[in-house]
Amino acid sequence: MAGGTKADGVLLFPLLLFLSLHCSSALKSSDADRTFVIDYENDQFLKDGEPFQYISGSIHYFRVIPSNWRDRLKKMRMAGFNALQTYVEWSSHEPEPGVYDFTGMLDLESFLKMAQEEDLVVILRLGPFIDAERDMGGLPYWLLNKNPDMRLRSSDSSYLTYVDDWYGNVLLPKIKPLLYENGGPVIMLQVENEYGSYPDCDFAYTSHLRDLVRQGVGDNVVLFTTDGDGASYLKCGKIPGVYSTVDFGSGGDAKKSFAAMRLFEPHGPLVNSEYYPGWLDHWGEPHSTLDSEVIAKTLDDMLALNASVNMYVFHGGTSFGLTAGSNMGSTFQACPTSYDYDAPLSEAGDPTEKYWVIRNITQKYLPLPSGDVPPASPKYTYGNVQLSPVGNVLQMSTLLQSLTQQYPLTFEQLSVASGLVLYETVLPFRISDPARLSINEVHDRGYVFVESRFAGIVSREQELYDLALSALPNQTISIVVESQGRICYGSQINDFKGLTTNVTINGNTLENWKMVPIPLSNVPRLSSALKRLKFKVTTSGISPQELLATPQGGMTFYEGSFNVPDDDSHPQDTFLRLDGWGKGIVWVNDFCLGRYWPEVGPQVTLYIPNGVLMKGPNTLVVLEYEVSPCVLPDSCLLTLQDKHVINGPTPA
C-alpha cells in the first residue's frame, strides 16, 4: 500500500492469507453444491437438489458471427428458455491434422461462458459426428486422406486414433472446467449423435466413446444419447450407462413418441432432444415451413408431461463459407447457405411470429425473465454495387501449384477440403465428332472446356454424366469440378469429391492428368492468387472479353466495392441480391458469405451481418461459375437490400 510501513505489511499478510483461504474454501464449497443428476425414482432431473425441467434451444456458434452471439442468446432467454444446446464441430476446429482453431466464430469457450452470463445452462453435443447439414456431418475431410478405406463412426482403429487424440488431448480438457460441477454452465454431454440411424451398429465404438468421455470429464456429468422415436433407432443407439433420449417433430401424439424411450429408459425424465420448429432446405426445392400453432400445441403437450425439450433449431443462422453439407435421397441434394430453418429466430436473428407463439407456451411452465425482448436488428439498403471482371479460373490455374498423375485424384487425395479443382489432360487420339465424354462419378458438378472453350456441364445432382464433345488430337480437355458439400447423414458420409472414377471418351480411358486446386477456402492464399492474376492480366494486355472464361461470363472472378455511411447507425445488416447471376461464391471484406444459386432457389439473397461490414469502403469479390450479367459492363451489378428472400421460386 502506498505510504505504508513494513510493520503494516507484516500485520496485513496474515489477514490477506485468511481471506484468501476463506474465499477459496467458500468457492469450493459453492462448487460442491452445484450438482446436476437424474432422479430415476421421480422421473426428473435434479439441479442443486431441486427438480429441474429444461426448455432448451439449439444455436450453433459456428453459424453466427461472435458480435451477434449475445443478441441471439438473450433473445432465446427472453423467450423463457433456460438452456442452450449446441454442437461441437470437429472439422472446423481441426481443419487439417494437428492444426487447431478456437478463435473468432470458433471460440467455443467464450460462447459457452456468454451463455452462462445470459442465465442459460448448456447441453453440449460433442460429436464427433454431428450431421447438422454440415460438410461430412462435421467430420474432418482429411480422415479420408489418412485412410480412404476408413470406416467412419466405427471401432476401426484408424478412425479411433484420431477421435482419441481430438477428444483426449484437445476437446475434453477444454470442456472439463466448463462443467456445472466446476462452476461452468455445462450440465449434459451427448455421446455420438443419432447413432441408431447409422447402419454399423457398432457397440464397441459407442462404448469406447462413453469411456473416453468419462476418462476426460469424470463420472459426475450426465451423458446422454439422441435417437429417433422408434425402437429400431434406440436398439443401436442405446449405450449402457448413458441416458437415452429421443427426437421428434410436431403434430403427433407426444405420449406415443416417448413410448419408445420408455422401452429403454423405464424411469427418468422424458426428453425430446430435437424438437423441430421447422426443417432444412435443399437447393432447387421449395423452402420448408411448419405451422406455428401446431408446433406450439405439441410443445405444450410435452411440457405438460414434465418432459424436457430442446428445440432444434431455435436460431439456425448461416452456413458461411463452404461449410454446408448435402444429403442423399433419391438423388444427391445439396444444402443452401441459409440455415434459417423456419426457426423462431430468423437467419438474421429477428423474432418471428413463431417466436411469440412459442413464448406464450413456455411462460406457462417457466417464469419469463424481466425486461423487454431485444428488437429485430435494423436493416439497410446500400444499393447497387458495380463489379468488373479481374480474370478467370483457367488463367489463375497457370499461377498455382499443380500435380500430375496417370489417373485423376480426389479432393481428399489432393488435401483439398472444398471448393474447386481443375483437372486437365491432352487428348492423345482421334475421336468421332461428336464423341461421348463420360464421367460416371463426378462429385459434384463439372464444367468441361476444350482448348479453353466451354463445352458443357456434368452434374451429380441432375445425374448428367455424359457430354457430347468435339475435340482434335493434342487439344487440352479441362474439367473444373465443384464440391457442393459432402453428404452429412446416413451411410454415404465417406463422400469423396472431384473425379472419383476414370474419365472416358467413347469408352477409352483418358490418362495423364494435371490437377490444380483453386484455393477458395483459404482466404490468404486466394487473395495472393488474385493479386498475381490481376498483375498477369495487367501486364499481358488481355482484353476485357478474354477475362471471361466463357462467353456468358462463367468461371470468372469479379470485384467491386461499396460504401457504408460514417455515422453511428451504421453498419447495419443487409442482404445481397444477385439478379442475373447464376451460381457461385461471394466474399465481403475477405469474409466468405457462402454459395449462391438463385436460379434454382429457394434462397435468392445472401445474409450479410453488420459485423462483417465497416464504415467507409467495403470490398466484394464474386466467383461466378456459370453466367453473369457482365457481358454488358453497365449491367455488371449486385444489389444490397434490406429484405431477405429465402423462399424464392424453384424448378418444376
Q: Residues with catalytic annotation?
A: 194, 274
Q: Return the closest-CA partner of residue 338 out of 521, 106, 596, 620.
A: 596
**Grid cell digits, residue 629:** 450479367
Q: Return the closest-CA partner of residue 625 out of 472, 484, 495.
A: 484
Q: What is the DSSP letter of 530?
A: H
Is 182 in contact with 32 (CB distance < 8 Å)?
no
**Grid cell digits, residue 30:** 459453492
Report the amino acid identity of residue 12.
Answer: L
Q: How many CB atoms lie within 10 A of CB 600?
A: 19
Measured in whole angstroms, the distance separating CA 19 from the mean position of its chain's CA atoms is 47
Is 109 in contact with 66 (CB distance < 8 Å)?
no
Identify the three-state secondary structure at position 13.
Answer: helix
Distance CA 481, CA 420 (A): 6
Is 187 in contact with 222 (CB distance < 8 Å)?
yes
> H or E segment at 531?
helix 523-540
Is 300 in contact with 460 (CB distance < 8 Å)?
no
Gyration radius (Cα) of the chain, Å: 27
**Grid cell digits, residue 12:** 496485513
- Give the CA distances from residue 152 to residues 167, 201, 216, 291, in Å, rounded to whole numbers and listed in that order: 16, 12, 22, 37
Q: What is the DSSP letter of 144?
A: H
Beta-carbon contacts of 259 under 8 Å, excluding residues fewer than 6 positions away, are none
356 CB burial (10 A radius; 0-12, 13-18, 19+): middle
Is 475 in contact with 427 (CB distance < 8 Å)?
yes
